Structure 1
Amino acid sequence: MWFKNLQTYRLPAGWEITANQMETQLARHVFQRCGSMDMQSRGWISPRKDENLVFSQNQQFLIAMGTEQKLLPSTVVNQIANERIAEIEEQQGYKLGRKQSREIKENVTDELLPRAFSRRSTTFVWIDPVNGWLIVDAANAAKSEEVQKLLFDSLDDLPLSLLKTQQSPTSAMTTWLATGEAPAGFTIDRDCVLQAPNEEKATVRYSRHPLDVEEIRAHLAEGKTATRLALTWNDRISFALNEQLQVKQLSFLDIIKEEAESQAETAEEQFAADFALMTGELSPLLHDLVSALGGEQEKI
C-alpha cells in the first residue's frame, strides 16, 4: 500500500464528503471481471480486501481501482489472419481488398479473445479533503487519467484540478543543480536527466553519479535543462521529481516503516498504521515541495 508514485491533483477548500457517501457513490462502478468479448474492464475494489470500497482514517480516505486487461498480442492476431487471407487469396486467385482483410482480422480477434489470458492490477488513490489533495499512485499520466475518468463517473461532485506551481519543475531543478543548493528540507541525490531544448532533444542521464561536478555545470552552460532530479526530503523520503511535476520512485526510508511495524500487532492494525504514517509524511512533503517551487499558481 505504500505509494511509489504521486500524480498530484488539487481539491478546493471546503470540499467535503463522508466515507458513507463515497462508499455509496463508488458502488455504482464496482469492478467486474472482463466478459468473454471484453478487452478491458475497470472499477472500484476494496483497498484492504474486505467488503468496503473506502478505507477511512482521520479524515483521510484510501480507495483502489481494479483493472483487468486481456493479453492478446497483435502479432498473434496478424499471424493467424495473414494465414487465412493467404488461403483465401490462393483459392480465389486474386488479392483481397482492405475491407475484407480487416474483417478477417476482426473475426480472428473475436475468436481468440474468449481464450486470452488476462492481467489484473490495482491503482491506489489517497484523498485528503483536509489539505485538499487527491493523489494517484500511478507511474504514468495515462493510468492516472483512467482513474480520474472513473472518479468523475462515480462521484457526484468532484472539482478536481492538476497541481500547478509558480515555478516550473524544470526551471527550479536546473537552478538547484547549477547552484548546488537544494531548497530547505531537501538534499540533491545522485540521479538526474539533462535535456537540450532544441528539436533533437539531446539527453544526458546520470545514475549514481556525483552531480556537483564541472561536467554537469558545462551541460547546463550549453543550455541543457534538468527534466528529472533525485531528491531526499528531511532524510525520510527519497524520490525523483520530473518536469511534469510527477513524483517517481518514492521510497520511504526504513525508519518510517519500522515505526509502523512497532505500532501494529495484527494485519488490520498494520494496514492502518502504514496508511497513517504514509499520509502523515506525504502531507508535509507535498507542502514543502510546492513551497520550493514558488507556491501554487492562483486559479483564474
Structure 2
Amino acid sequence: MWFKNLQLYRLALPVNLTAESLHQALAKLAFSPSTSMDLQNQGWASPRDNDLLVHTVNGQMLIMLGTEKKLLPASVINQVCKAKATELEEQQGFKPGRKQMKDLKEQVTDELLPRAFSIRRNTWAWIDPLNGWLVVDAASPARADELLKPLLKVVNDVTLYSLRVAQLPASAMTSWLAADEAPAGFSIDQDTELRSAGEDKAAVRYVSHTIDPDDVRRHIAAGKQCTRLAMTWADRISFVLTESLAIKRVTALDVIKENSDSKMQNDEERFDSDFALMTGELNHMLGDLVAALGGEAPQQP
C-alpha cells in the first residue's frame, strides 16, 4: 500500500508514544456504524479490519480515520419541502411562515435520512515515532485537518508542528528551473506550473511536455514563480511538489517494484512488506527533499 498524496507534519522528539498507548487513545473515538438518523459519522477504524486501531511494522505506525456520510442533497429536501408546504397552505388557507418552514424542513430531513444512501471513505496517516514524521494521505490540508483534529483530541502526549523549511518551495523550484538543474538526488520531470504573483494571476502549465529552459526563464523574468513541479527522486519515486510543501501524485517506479518481494504468500505479508518498503523509501526521500530546501527551519506549534 502506497500513499498517493503527502501532507507533512513534524512530531517533537522524543515521541513518547507506543502502539498500545495510541490504540487506547484512539479507542475513545472508535468508529461505529451510523444509525438511520445520523447524517455523518466519524471515528477511528482498524487499518487491517481486526481489533487493532494501530497497525505497526518495524516501529512504523499506520492509523485510519473512517467517515460515513449520508447522501441527502439539499435539492431533494427542498423539493419535498415545497410539495409539503403547498399541501399545508391548502389545509390552513395561508402560506407557512418562517418557523413552520423551518420545522417542516427538519421533519422532511428526519423522514428522508433512513432512506438515504451512505458513502464511506477512509483517511490514512503514517506515524514515524523514530524520526518524528506524521504524514497524512490527503490531497488538501483541509482533508488532513479532518484527521488531525480528532487525533489531537485524544492524544495529549505529543507535540505536532507543520513542516517548515529554510527556503520557500516556490523560490527553490523557481531557482531549479532557472538554472536548469535539479538538486542532488532528484531530476525534473515534464509537468510544471508557473504563476504570476500579480493581480492577473497569469499561469503557464506544462503537462507531459519537455520544459524548455529559455522559455521558462522568460516567464520567470516576467515575474512568474514555479508553484508545482514534477520530480523524480533517485529514479525510485516520482511526485509533484507544490508551493505549500504538499507532495502529490506519489508513484513508486519500476525499480522499487522489481526489488519488492513478489513471492509473498498472503495478503497480510504483502501489505506489511509494502508498508515497510513505503515508509523506508519515503523516509530517505523526505530527508533529501528537506535538505534540498535548505533544511528545517525553527518550528512553531
TM-score class normalised by the smaller sequence: over 0.9
- AA aligned opposite 1:282: L
Residues 70-109 of structure 1, C-alpha deviation per residue, up to 9 Å, x if partnerless? 1111221122222333444465565544443333223222
Distance across 1 between alignment mates of 2:297 and 2:217? 30
Count of residue correspondences: 300
Distance across 1 between alignment mates of 2:195 and 2:99? 44
Change (3 A) 1:51 1:200: same
Moved more, 82-91 or 57-66: 82-91
2:252 equivalent to 1:252: yes
* Aligned ranges 1:9-88 → 2 under 5 Å: 9-88=9-88
Change (3 A) 1:64 1:201: same
Instruction: Give 3-state SS (helix, strand or coil) of 2:261's partner.
Output: helix
* Aligned ranges 1:199-214 → 2 under 5 Å: 199-214=199-214
Q: TM-score, normalised by structure 1?
A: 0.93
Residues 240-260 of structure 1, C-alpha deviation per residue, up to 9 Å, x if partnerless? 111111001100112313333
2:279 equivalent to 1:292: no
* Aligned ranges 1:1-300 → 2 under 5 Å: 1-89=1-89, 94-262=94-262, 264-299=264-299
Gaps of 5+ in 1: none
Distance across 2 between alignment mates of 1:115 and 1:243? 43
Change (3 A) 1:86 1:258: farther
Instruction: Give 3-state SS (helix, strand or coil) of 1:262's partner.
Output: coil
**Cα pair 1:63 1:124 within 8 Å, conserved:** yes
Distance across 2 between alignment mates of 1:90 and 1:124? 53
Distance across 1 between alignment mates of 2:54 and 2:224? 45
Instruction: Give 3-state SS (helix, strand or coil) of 2:260's partner.
Output: helix
Distance across 2 between alignment mates of 1:220 and 1:84? 60
Residues 28-80 of structure 1, C-alpha deviation per residue, up to 9 Å, x if partnerless? 11111122221111111111222221111221111111111111112211222
Distance across 1 between alignment mates of 2:173 and 2:89? 60
Instruction: Give 3-state SS (helix, strand or coil) of 1:232's partner.
Output: strand
Q: TM-score, normalised by structure 2?
A: 0.93
**Cα pair 2:10 2:163 within 8 Å, conserved:** yes
Q: Identity of counterpart residues, as a percentage?
A: 53
Moved more, 288-297 or 217-226: 217-226
